[in-house]
Amino acid sequence: MRRAAVLLLVTLVLCGCHNDPKPTVFQSEPHDHSHEREAMLIEHAGRRHAALTAHLSQKDGNELDVFFETGSNAAKPYPLSLMKFAATARTASGQEHPLAFEAAPPDERKGDPDGKCSHFVAKAGWMKPEDVLTVTAAVEVDGAVEQIEWKNFNPRKYAHHVE
C-alpha cells in the first residue's frame, strides 16, 4: 500500500497539476520623483534627465528647449559632449515634424565647459499652443545612445515663456 501511495505521488509530481502559469512581469525602475517640474516635462536619458519646455512667441516664432540634468533630486545642468541633435515631434493627428536642436546661446547655459552643452533649442514655427505632441530623440549620454520620448507634451502647459 505504501508503495502504491509513493508511486501515485511520483506520478502526480511528474505529470503535474496543470495550472496555467502566470507570465512573469518585470517592473521598470521605481520612480521616486515627479516627471514634471515648473514648466517642464522630464524624461530619463540613461541615469540623467532630459527636461522639455516650450517657448511660445508670435514675434520670434515658437521653440522647444531641452535641458539635460543630473538624475538627482537636486537637479543641476549636465553638459553633454555634443552641440546639436535631431528629434521628431508627432502631433496627435499623426503629422511628424523634424526638429534640429542646437546649443542655446552661451549666456543661457552658463557654466557649460567649452565644447559641451546642457541646454538645446529647436525652432518649431508650426507648433500651436494647444497641440499635444510626442517628441522623440536619440541622444548620446554618458557614452551610450539613449532613446528619449516625451509623451503628451502640451506646449501651453509646459511653456516657460509666452508672448
What is the spatial distance between Cα 45 and Cα 93, in angstroms, rounded to a whole number? 26
Higher pLDDT, 58 or 80: 80
Least confident of 16-20, 67-71, 89-93: 16-20
How confident is the model at residue 35, as a pLDDT?
A: 83
Average pLDDT on 3-26 reads: 40
**Residue 12 scores a pLDDT above 50:** no
CATH topology of domain 36-162: Immunoglobulin-like (2.60.40)
Sign of the torsion angle spanned by Cα atoms 76, 77, 81, 85: positive
For position 20, what pLDDT does the model report? 40
Q: What is the DSSP string of 10-48?
A: HHHHHH---PPPPPP-PPPPP--S-SEETTEEEEEETTE
Check: pTM over 0.75? Answer yes or no: yes
Residue 52: per-residue pLDDT:
98
Confidence of residue 161 (pLDDT cuts 50, 70, 90): confident
What DSSP element (H or E) covers 4? helix 2-15
Distance (Å, whole) CA 119 – CA 116:
10
Give the 3-state secondary structure of residue 118.
Answer: coil
Rg (CA), the chain: 25
C-alpha–C-alpha distance, residues 152 and 135, integer Å: 9
Cβ(85)–Cβ(137) under 8 Å? yes
Distance (Å, whole) CA 75 – CA 116: 18
pLDDT at residue number 68 = 97
